[in-house]
Amino acid sequence: MERIRTDLLVIGAGSGGLSVAAGAAQMGVRVVLLEGGEMGGDCLNWGCVPSKALLAAARVAHAQAHASAFGIADMVPQVDFAAVKDHVAQVIAEIAPNDSQERFEALGVRVIRDYGRFISSTEVRAGNHVIRARRVVIATGSSPLVPPIPGLADVPFDTNETIFARRARPEHLLVIGGGPIGMEMAQAHVRLGSKVTVIEGDRVLNRDDPDLAAVVRAALEREGVEIAEDAMVSGVRRDGGVTEVSVADGRVFRGSDLLVAVGRRANTDRLNLQVAGIETTRTGIRVDAGLRTTNRRVYAIGDVAGGLQFTHVAGYHAGVVIRSILFGLPARAATHHIPRVTYTDPELAQVGLAEAEAREKFGTRLEVVRFDMAHNDRAVAERRTEGFIKLMVVRGRPVGASIVGHQAGELVNLWSLALANRLKMGQIAAMVSPFPTIGEVNKRAAGAYFSPRLFDSPMVKRVVGAVQRWIP
Ligand SMILES: Cc1cc2nc3c(=O)[nH]c(=O)nc-3n(C[C@H](O)[C@H](O)[C@H](O)COP(=O)(O)OP(=O)(O)OC[C@H]3O[C@@H](n4cnc5c(N)ncnc54)[C@H](O)[C@@H]3O)c2cc1C
Ligand SMILES: NC(=O)c1ccc[n+]([C@@H]2O[C@H](COP(=O)([O-])OP(=O)(O)OC[C@H]3O[C@@H](n4cnc5c(N)ncnc54)[C@H](O)[C@@H]3O)[C@@H](O)[C@H]2O)c1
């Protein structure tokens, strides 16, 4: 048994843990990093990266099939599904060196490839090592939630941890869950030639503004995805090579393959948290505003902290705990400026408050500005005019932005900047946007906030009239 003393122990080498380890090591702190699975965690291996790579391939197939609007013949895409999966694997392999053991060892981090488990409030055991650290950061992420649906355990099914390795195209993919994972995978597969049915207990993308979710839903349906809503799955069975999913109200869906995408479960089981006095909640590890657990020396970040579950949140959390651990500065994790994007086509992006939340918080002080993509000349040229941007504004400052449409995920960056820095609408409107860019839609939306004030105001008209009379 090797006993190790260190300044900082990081448990989990995914998006959050790697960011903490890299930052701390480069500032001269002694860091031990534990990883029981693959370096890079969910995002690199079974999450963001493979899903976006698969969607990119699907977009190419879709473009081939829908070229005639540009005067180029439509083609039935010849999809080699296994080769598509090779592309996905290559993308992972290209990014993997950033997250590799070699890279972190070169930064001076001691990497131990084993699962960590608390054996006391100050010590963690991983394989043949016992590590005592002044501070510990738990960044163990989350795993797919597999609900206790009757019959599910007896049939073959995929989750995000297995689907990207499948080399044969599913003939008819049934997807339980119409959240971001379900919708992204549904569109990727329908574009690559599978039949797809999404079975969703509530409405699809139910965490998003219903006006925006409806645009994505309609796009997927146009492409052939069958979407069943208010369809809480109550049973699953497999009979003669067919998987049958039944819904409480009697509906039954049949397909060849099944993907379960009904949410996530925090990875806490292996950690033996009780022995360290670390409490959990229903969604993960209990943390305070500074991401400290109920053990003051231990922090929890990213998916395991039970809040927003995105790679950029894990990265942001890493910055917050580094500030606290390395500099002893007060640091709080805020959420008002955190964006999220669902990478369907069209994309759906949100930062800050959506309309309903903003209305509840600000009542009549809320102004909502909407600007349609159809008014953006570049979107017209690209034939991508579906969608719109909705801005929630209170006393001249944006408190939220909801965008659905081509490149919504790129467009929301500006509003993340605005919310993080409490910018005013006037500062956005003052920007000159190059013409013709999709991004110009942001400036035009800000302009739409001011135009009624300028164009519908008798006062402005009187002033302009007076100036015109006096100017020679
Ligand atoms: C299909 C899919 C698509 C996604 N797409 C996006 C996207 O487009 N954009 C986005 O922002 N987010 C996306 N996400 C979410 C994103 O992947 C997660 O929010 C992010 O990976 C969380 O980072 P993390 O560091 O908290 O955990 P992870 O990246 O999961 O890392 C945790 C690591 O800890 C290890 N571990 C667990 N327990 C222990 C232990 N006891 N000891 C040692 N190691 C341990 C695990 O093996 C894992 O490697 C997606 C997720 C999925 C599933
Ligand atoms: N683009 C991105 O950033 C991205 C992409 C994928 C995943 N993620 C992250 O991963 C998280 C998990 O994604 P997810 O889509 O698995 O979860 P989710 O919780 O967002 O959606 C799951 C859906 O499944 C439905 N559901 C639950 N039980 C059901 C049942 N028995 N029958 C039918 N429907 C049922 C829920 O109503 C919900 O709409 C996301 O919330 C997000 O944080 C992010």
Ligand nearest to the CA of 42: 1
Ligand 1 atom nearest the C-alpha of 43 is 17
The residue whose CB lies within 8 Å of the most ligand 2 atoms, and thus the one to mutate among 264, 350, 410, is: 264
- How far is the C-alpha of 218 from the C-alpha of 345, rounded, in Å? 11
33 lines ligand 1 (CB under 6 A): no
User: Which ligand has the nearest atom to the CA of 184?
Assistant: 2
Per-residue pLDDT of the chain (472 residues; tens, 9 = 90+): 999 999 999 999 999 999 999 999 999 999 999 999 999 999 999 999 999 999 999 999 999 999 999 999 999 999 999 999 999 999 999 999 999 999 999 999 999 999 999 999 999 999 999 999 999 999 999 999 999 999 999 999 999 999 999 999 999 999 999 999 999 999 999 999 999 999 999 999 999 999 999 999 999 999 999 999 999 999 999 999 999 999 999 999 999 999 999 999 999 999 999 999 999 999 999 999 999 999 999 999 999 999 999 999 999 999 999 999 999 999 999 999 999 999 999 999 999 999 999 999 999 999 999 999 999 999 999 999 999 999 999 999 999 999 999 999 999 999 999 999 999 999 999 999 999 999 999 999 999 999 777 677 777 778 777 777 878 7
Q: Residue 251 CA: which ligand is closest?
A: 2
pLDDT at residue 472 in the model: 75
ipTM value, please give it. Answer: 0.97
Tell me the two tokens of residue 48.
């963001």
Using alpha carbons, list the distances in angstroms from residue 153 to 149, 235, 240, 260.
Answer: 8, 11, 17, 12
210 Cβ contact partners less than 8 Å away, ≥ 6 residues apart: 203
> Tell me: domain 2-39+100-143+265-327, CATH 3.50.50.60, correct?
yes
Nearest 5°: the CA angle 133, 136, 137 is 155
CA of 197 to the centre of ligand 1 (A): 26
* C-alpha–C-alpha distance, residues 5 and 261, integer Å: 41
* Domains 152-262 and 340-455 belong to one CATH topology: no
- CATH topology assigned to domain 152-262: FAD/NAD(P)-binding domain (3.50.50)
CA of residue 27 to ligand 2 center, whole Å: 37
Span from the CA of 199 to the centroid of ligand 2 (angstroms): 12
Element (H, E) at 14: none
Ligand 2 atom nearest 247 alpha carbon:
32
Pocket, ligand 2, Cβ cutoff 6 A = 147, 149, 176-182, 184, 199-202, 206, 232-233, 261-264, 309-310, 340-343
Query: What is the pTM for the complete model shown?
Result: 0.96
Residue 170: DSSP 8-state: P
Cα of 227 from ligand 2 centre, angstroms: 15
| Ligand 2 atom, smallest distance to 205 CA | 39
Q: Whose CA is nearest to atom 12 of ligand 2?
A: 263
Tell me the domain boundaries of the chain: 2-39+100-143+265-327, 152-262, 340-455
- Our mutation pick for probing the ligand 2 site, out of 44, 146, 161, 181, counting the most ligand atoms within 8 A of Cβ, is 181
Opening angle at CA 10, ends 9 and 16, nearest 5: 155
Handedness of CA 176, 206, 406, 161 (dihedral sign): negative
Pairing state between β 195-199 and 172-176: parallel
* Ligand 1 atom 31: residue of nearest CA: 14
**Among 36, 52, 37, which Cα is nearest to 126's?**
36
- pLDDT value at residue 216: 98
Quote the pLDDT of residue 452: 77
Of the ligands numbered here, which is closest to the C-alpha atom of 230? 2
Q: Whose CA is nearest to atom 12 of ligand 1?
A: 310
Domain 340-455 sits in which CATH superfamily? FAD/NAD-linked reductase, C-terminal dimerisation domain (3.30.390.30)
Residue 312 near ligand 1, beta carbon < 6 Å: yes
Q: Is the peptide bond before 436 cis (omega within 30 degrees of 0)?
A: yes
Strand ranges (E), 78-225: 110-112, 117-118, 123-126, 129-138, 142-144, 172-176, 195-199
337: part of which helix (H) or strand (E)?
Answer: none
| CA 334 / ligand 1 centre spacing (Å) | 20
Asked if residues 178 and 204 have their Cβ atoms less than 8 Å apart, the reply is yes
The residue whose C-alpha atom lies closest to atom 33 belonging to ligand 1 is 12
Of ligand 1's atoms, which has the minimum distance to the CA of residue 39? 49
